C-alpha cells in the first residue's frame, strides 16, 4: 500500500530537486511529514536511497536544512530521505511536558503501553511504511537502502539496521545513544513507551543487539569528544566493547573539540555519504 502524498514545496538544488511532502500514515494514524532530495541522476535512472533519522526536538526539515548533505548526494547520485521524529497533533496527556519524551521524541520504536501504543509506532513507520511510500512514488532502488542518524536518530538507525539487516544494506550514526537501557534518556523513553519490564527494552538497544547478532556490514560511528551528552547519555565505549566481543566490524571515530551540534555533522557528512555509497555499491 503506497498511499497518496501531498507536495508542500519543491525547489532546484545542486542540479536535483529538494521536496517536502505530507501523507496520511497508517502506522501513526496521523499526517506525517517527510523530505526527499533527488540528485540530478534521478532524472534519468533510479538511484539508491539514504534515510536519515534526526534527534530530539528535530523535525523532517532539520537535517535537510542544516547538514549540507545535498551537494555530496548530488555528486554521488544518492537520494536523501528525512522524516519527522514523532507523530504530531495527538495532544496526548504528558506528550509535551518535556523536551526529551513524547512530542519530537518518538525514539524510533513501536510503543506497547497506553496512551502511546496506538500512534507512537515510529519503528514500523521507519522500517516498513516510509520505504514503501518512497519506493512507490520516487525513482529509487529497493535493494539499495541505507540508514543513518544523529543522537536519538543514531540510536534509531543502528537499531533499525540491526533488527532488519536484510532490509538495510548500509548504516552509520553521528553521536548515537548507543546503550539506551543504561542512560536516562533511554530509561525515560523505554519506561513510558515499553513499560516496566526491562527485558522488553533490549530489542531497541544497539549495544545489546550487537552482542547477540552483529550487523553483516561495516558500521561507521562518529562522536565528538566535546559533546555535552557524551558521558551521561551516549556511551560509545559500550558500543565499542560490544562490537569487539561479537566481532562486529565497527569504525568508531572520536573527534577532539567537536560537540553535539550540526556543525559536527556538517564536518563529517561527506564521509558518511561516501561510506554509504561504498556499502550500497553506487
- Enzyme catalytic residues: 151, 227, 260
Written as nine digits, the cell of 106 is 518518538
Written as nine digits, the cell of 189 is 523513553
Residue 154 half-sphere exposure, CB side, CA atoms within 13 Å? 26
Terminal Cα-to-Cα distance of the chain (whole angstroms): 28
Q: Are 136 and 81 in contact (CB under 8 A)?
A: no
Q: Are 144 and 169 in contact (CB under 8 A)?
A: yes
Written as nine digits, the cell of 109 is 520504536
Q: What is the rounded distance in angstroms from the CA atom of residue 140 to the CA atom of residue 41? A: 11
- CA torsion angle for 177, 218, 270, 277 (degrees, to 10)? -130
Q: What's the 3-state SS for 198-220?
A: HHHHHHHCHHHHHHHCCCCCCEE
Q: Are 68 and 266 in contact (CB under 8 A)?
A: yes
Q: Could you tell me which residues come within 8 angstroms of residue 111 by beta carbon, excluding any fewer than 6 positions away?
A: 117, 119, 120, 121, 193, 194
Would you tell me how many other CB atoms lie within 10 Å of the CB of residue 197? 10
CA 116 from chain center: how many Å? 20
Amino acid at each position: 500500500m503506497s498511499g497518496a502524498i501531498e507536495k508542500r514545496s519543491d525547489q532546484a538544488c545542486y542540479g536535483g530537486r529538494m521536496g517536502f511532502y505530507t501523507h496520511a500514515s497508517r502506522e501513526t494514524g496521523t499526517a506525517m511529514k517527510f523530505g526527499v532530495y533527488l540528485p540530478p541522476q534521478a532524472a534519468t535512472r533510479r538511484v539508491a536511497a539514504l534515510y536519515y533519522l534526526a534527534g530530539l526536538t528535530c523535525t523532517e526539515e532539520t537535517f535537510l536544512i542544516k547538514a549540507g548533505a545535498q551537494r555530496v548526494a548530488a555528486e554521488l547520485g544518492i537520494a536523501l530521505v528525512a522524516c519527522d521524529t514523532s507523530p504530531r497533533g495527538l495532544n496526548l496527556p504528558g506528550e509535551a511536558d518535556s523536551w526529551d519524551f513524547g512530542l519530537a521524541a518518538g525514539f524510533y520504536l513501536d510503543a506497547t503501553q497506553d496512551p502511546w501504543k496506538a500512534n507512537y509506532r515510529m519503528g514500523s513507520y521507519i522500517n516498513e511504511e516510509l520505504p514503501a511510500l518512497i519506493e512507490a512514488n520516487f525513482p529509487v532502488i529497493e535493494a539499495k537502502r541505507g540508514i543513518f542518524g544523529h543522537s536519538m536518530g543514531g540510536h534509531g538507525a543502528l537499531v533499525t539496521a540491526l533488527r532488519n539487516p536484510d532490509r538495510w544494506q548500509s548504516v552509520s550514526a553521528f553521536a548515537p545513544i548507543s546503550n539506551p537501557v543504561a542512560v536516562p534518556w533511554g530509561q525515560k523513553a523505554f519506561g513510558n513507551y515499553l513499560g516496566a519490564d526491562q527485558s522488553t527494552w533490549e530489542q531497541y538497544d544497539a549495544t545489546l543487539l550487537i552482542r547477540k547478532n552483529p550487523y553483516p556490514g561495516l558500521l561507521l560511528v562518529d562522536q565528538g569528544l566535546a559533546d555535552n551528552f557524551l558521558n551521561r547519555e551516549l556511551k560509545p565505549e559500550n558500543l565499542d566493547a560490544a562490537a569487539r566481543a561479537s566481532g562486529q566490524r565497527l569504525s568508531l571515530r572520536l573527534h577532539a573539540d567537536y560537540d553535539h551540534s550540526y556543525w559536527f555533522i556538517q564536518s563529517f557528512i561527506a564521509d558518511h555519504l561516501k561510506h554509504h555509497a561504498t556499502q550500497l555499491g553506487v
